Amino acid sequence: MGVLNVTPDSFSDGGRHGDTEDAVRHALLMLEQGAEIIDIGGESTRPGAREVPANVELERVIPVLAALRPRTDATLSVDTRKSSVAAAALEAGADWINDVSAGTHDPALLETVAAARCTFVAMHARGEPAHMQDRPHYEDPVREVVEELSARVEACLKAGIEPSRLVLDPGIGFGKRLEDNLALIRGLPRLKTMGYPILVGVSRKSFIGTLTSVAEPADRLGGTAAAVAACVLGGADVLRVHDVAAMAQVVRVATAIVQVP
């Protein structure tokens, strides 16, 4: 899954793809480099980010989606917490909705997704992005994330989302400490026992910067590669990344290592 942020303030690539044609070119490039899914986001959910009004998010996302959809048959995902944005995105041709709040920010989003019968990525997070990193605390992060994601799965099923259309994300960096992120990557086999595909987003994140002492997110290619390889070895099904060409190589090699002849 290639990341396409059309925001001015995302943690790594904010402001780089604000122009519609530039965003479309970058999406097509990522597809050439090996991405199978493009995830379009119009609201930054980095730590400390403030909520963006739905009309602003729509102005950022829909023109890009409408311009990109006729040019590719690849899976197009929209990263949003709002039912109004999800509805407009699905009408404009989105295939997936990726919600970092798993439907807790706007419960109506679950019904929107269910009615559209699209794939839904439910991510684990504690708290709103503006404050989620203030004082996160877990006794057993893997157990707690599994329990809390299980509750969101129940909410999704109750809203009418089909089990075959659910994808789960442990939410690396969303209300998590360094040790929590590492525990969740090690604990991916436990998350796999929930019975749903697992999506993981580790690309360029701050825990990699902490471990490597690399301050600039775009310079964390090596650390990201290591984390992506670990996720593949742990059973992750979808990897959400910025540097598609390099990470496609990582995924191919790591996958070959775990595959039994």
Task: Report the b/e string of 136-174 with b at 16+ CB within 10 A.
Answer: eebeebbeebbebbeebbebbeebebeeebbbbbbbbbb
The phi, psi pair for 78, rounded to 5°, reads: -120, 125
Is the Cβ–Cβ distance between 143 and 122 less than 8 Å? no
Which of the 8 DSSP states describes residue 28? Answer: H
Catalytic residue among 46, 126, 220, 240: 240
Clarify whether 205 is annotated catalytic.
yes
Clarify whether 240 is annotated catalytic.
yes
Catalytic residue among 50, 205, 220, 252: 205
C-alpha to C-alpha distance for 52 and 196, rounded to whole angstroms: 30
Q: Residues with catalytic annotation?
A: 205, 240
